[in-house]
């Protein structure tokens, strides 16, 4: 009787799970394809945009665990290959012999490029900041390894209810302390508001402005991805009209606003080389021809101008019209 005529219980168990895995993979691929198809459709309503953003956030929350599970599966497959190749009856043909001979060289090259990548300052130049993160050791490590390379700071401002809570200051203070250290190195500041309460963003921007004594050229991006309805036109601190920051605002040469309004007479619209304004169709925002011409006159080196969405351009003789 052959030794394979009565498979051990472990083999039977493995075959069962192998079949389950195959079915699960097929189902997962189909579900992923369906999900991608649904969320690839054009957005037509603000409510649909909000729902899609929430769904994408749910997907993002699962990606890290998916990577971990894929790694675990790869390790199990490698272990199974080694077990199979221990056979004295079967030929070792799971891997191409050339790949086996090249494995050591490949590992060496991978290690070499890893060392090169780690030494690249650009690799550590993206920093995400949120007051929900009370430990800034990771951000501090990025700051140190960037070794003076210009930073891209992605700042998420909390919702209004949490920001008004008396315990909020204890959460946001470490973030402001970090901005004090990293501010002179931050080249691009991208702030995201999750509510109409602007004080958290203004605190970050004030620290950023105050930290840069050289007033080097900067990029400012601001957005409200979940906002619906008319765009608020007032800021809690109104730093964009504060004369104390006029010179700092003029040092910003690239400005991008998504569903966020900054007063048209602010110095932030001076000396720009790139200006992008994007608003929802129901934003109810207006700019006069005179205000727009003043902005263009204040930016003699403007290279890129993009205005899209629901910004209404008005003039004494023309009827208001939405700029496409």
pTM of the model: 0.63
> What is the Cα gyration radius of the chain?
27
> Is the separation of the CB atoms in 299 and 276 below 8 Å?
no
Tens-of-pLDDT digits for all 324 residues of the chain?
455 555 688 888 989 999 999 999 999 999 888 888 877 777 666 667 777 778 888 888 888 888 888 888 888 887 888 888 777 777 766 555 555 556 667 777 778 888 888 889 999 999 998 766 667 888 999 999 999 999 999 998 765 555 555 445 556 778 888 999 999 999 999 999 887 778 888 888 999 998 876 667 899 999 988 777 778 878 877 899 999 999 899 999 999 999 999 999 999 999 999 999 999 888 888 999 999 999 999 999 999 999 998 888 888 665 555 555
> Is the separation of the CB atoms in 291 and 262 below 8 Å?
no
What is the structure's pLDDT at 263? 94
Q: Identify the DSSP state of 158.
A: P
What is the structure's pLDDT at 309? 86
What is the structure's pLDDT at 100? 56
What is the structure's pLDDT at 161? 52
Measured CA to CA in angstroms, residue 236 lies from 145, 172, 200 at distances of: 36, 17, 9
> Is the separation of the CB atoms in 219 and 252 below 8 Å?
yes
What is the structure's pLDDT at 238? 83
What is the structure's pLDDT at 167? 47
What is the structure's pLDDT at 170? 56
What is the structure's pLDDT at 1? 46
């Amino acid at each position: 009787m052959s030794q394979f005529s009565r498979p051990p219980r472990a083999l039977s168990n493995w075959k069962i799970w192998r079949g389950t895995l195959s079915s699960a993979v097929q189902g997962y691929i189909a579900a992923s394809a369906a999900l991608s198809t649904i969320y690839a459709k054009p957005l037509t309503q603000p409510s649909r945009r909000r729902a899609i953003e929430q769904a994408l956030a749910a997907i993002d929350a699962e990606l890290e665990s998916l990577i971990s599970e894929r790694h675990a599966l790869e390790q199990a497959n490698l272990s199974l290959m080694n077990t199979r190749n221990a056979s004295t009856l079967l030929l070792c043909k799971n891997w191409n012999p050339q790949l086996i001979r090249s494995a050591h060289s490949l590992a060496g090259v991978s290690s070499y490029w890893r060392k090169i990548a780690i030494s690249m300052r650009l690799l550590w130049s993206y920093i995400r900041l949120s007051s929900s993160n009370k430990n800034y050791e990771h951000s501090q490590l990025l700051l140190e390894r960037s070794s003076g390379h210009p930073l891209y700071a992605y700042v998420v401002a909390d919702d209004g209810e949490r920001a008004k809570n008396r315990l909020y200051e204890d959460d946001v203070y470490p973030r402001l302390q970090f901005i004090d250290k990293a501010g002179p190195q931050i080249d691009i500041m991208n702030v995201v508001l999750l509510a109409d309460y602007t004080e958290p963003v203004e605190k970050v921007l004030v620290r950023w402005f105050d930290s840069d004594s050289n007033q080097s050229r900067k990029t400012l991006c601001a957005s409200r991805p979940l906002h619906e309805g008319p765009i608020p036109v007032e800021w809690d601190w109104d730093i964009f009209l504060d004369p104390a920051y006029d010179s700092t605002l003029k040092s910003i040469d690239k400005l991008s606003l998504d569903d966020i309004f900054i007063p048209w007479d602010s110095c932030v619209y001076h000396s720009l080389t790139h200006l992008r304004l994007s608003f929802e169709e129901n934003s109810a925002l207006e700019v006069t021809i005179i205000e727009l011409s003043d902005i263009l006159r204040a930016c003699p080196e403007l290279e890129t101008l993009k205005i899209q969405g629901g910004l209404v351009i008005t003039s004494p003789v023309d009827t208001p019209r939405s700029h496409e």
